[in-house]
Amino acid sequence: MLLFALTIQFVASVHSLPGPGSARTAVSTPIDLTPRQDIAIPPALAAFPSGPLNQFLKLISSLPEGAAALDAVGLILTPLQQTLADAVGIDTTRTDLAQNAPCADVTVIFARGTTEPGNVGLVTGPPFFDALSKQLGNASLAVQGVEYPATFAGFNRNGTDGVPSMTNFINQALTSCPATKVVMSGYSQGALVLRSTASSLPADTMAKINSVVTFGDPGNPAAITGAEGKTLIVCHENDAVCKGGFITVDHLTYADDADAAAGFVVGKVGGE
Ligand SMILES: *[C@@H]1O[C@H](CO)[C@@H](O)[C@H](O)[C@H]1NC(C)=O
Ligand SMILES: *[C@@H]1O[C@H](CO)[C@@H](O)[C@H](O)[C@H]1NC(C)=O
């Protein structure tokens, strides 16, 4: 309880967001934040300043049970991650389709993970886009984040909260930019958003998708509807989320796989 209160204060002081009073109102039951893991900073996140990163990892490692309690912690995690992103200059919001940016050679539509800030989050999307941009060389890249709340409660709705937004952006990309190669991607709950979207889209729409990449995918290892032969599911051996379990540090290190995932996409763009 002490750590929880301290952390709220930390976030409030950095962001002028819901201060201790309002954040506490959202927490109706005491939350047990007993650390369940020893935390070491993963190499992929070592570039982040250690202060906020340690706070973030500590919280992740001691998340309480129950969606309501988890969503209360999410009120802290989201601004904490945005603080990290701001500190290292990472853009957590990408809106190329929403802003009708010029058509690009490749368009990634990405759904972020639970509690991640912005619309593409921090730990998986931005490193993946950077790697892809580098590997595409002169070919241009557009990125659009799926607009959805990404709450813990939404996780139990199988990612359906994000289906309308992902569907709209896919249809927009295919209609406005018929020559662009559309990549569907999602991390954690975002992978569920992707799966639920793929299941609900007409087969001829899925046939026009160039490739599909999920990270830390709770639906692993099931196939993704309509994406046979063009799917990469990236799941760490010790990521319990990929086996129906809870978040561990192995769920937070998919930046390590950005180059490999980008290589897969570039291969599909080139017609592999
Ligand atoms: C990329 O563009 C530069 C400058 O226009 C050109 O010199 C180079 O050959 C291009 N590279 C590829 C792989 O097309
Ligand atoms: C979740 O969505 C996937 C993909 O649409 C589907 O295969 C699965 O049956 C759904 N699970 C539940 C519990 O609704």
Residue by residue, pLDDT tens for the chain (272 residues) are 233 333 333 332 232 223 333 333 333 344 455 555 555 666 666 666 677 777 777 777 777 878 888 888 888 889 888 888 888 888 999 999 999 999 999 999 999 999 999 999 999 999 999 999 999 999 999 999 999 999 988 998 999 999 999 999 999 999 999 999 999 999 999 999 999 999 999 999 999 999 999 999 999 999 999 999 999 999 999 999 999 888 888 898 899 999 999 999 999 999 98
Task: Locate the domains of the chain by residue range.
Answer: 2-88, 106-269
What amino acid is encoded at 11 in this protein? V
Q: If you measure from the C-alpha of residue 245 to the centroid of ligand 2, how many angstroms do you get, rounded to a whole number?
A: 16
The model carries a pTM of: 0.84
Q: Where are the alpha helices (DSSP H) in the chain?
A: 2-15, 20-26, 50-61, 67-88, 125-136, 152-155, 163-176, 189-200, 203-206, 258-269
Measured from CB, residues less than 6 Å from any atom of ligand 1 are 137-138
Measured by CA distance, the residue closest to atom 5 of ligand 1 is: 138
**176 included as an active-site residue:** no
Active-site position among 165, 188, 196, 211: 188
Contact 79, 14 (CB under 8 A): yes
Predicted local confidence at residue 9, as pLDDT? 31
Q: If you measure from the C-alpha of residue 139 to the centroid of ligand 1, how many angstroms do you get, rounded to a whole number?
A: 9
Q: Which CATH superfamily is domain 106-269 in?
A: Alpha/Beta hydrolase fold, catalytic domain (3.40.50.1820)
Measured by CA distance, the residue closest to atom 10 of ligand 1 is: 138
Predicted local confidence at residue 249, as pLDDT? 81
3 strand-pairing partners? none
Q: If you measure from the C-alpha of residue 157 to the centroid of ligand 2, how many angstroms do you get, rounded to a whole number?
A: 9
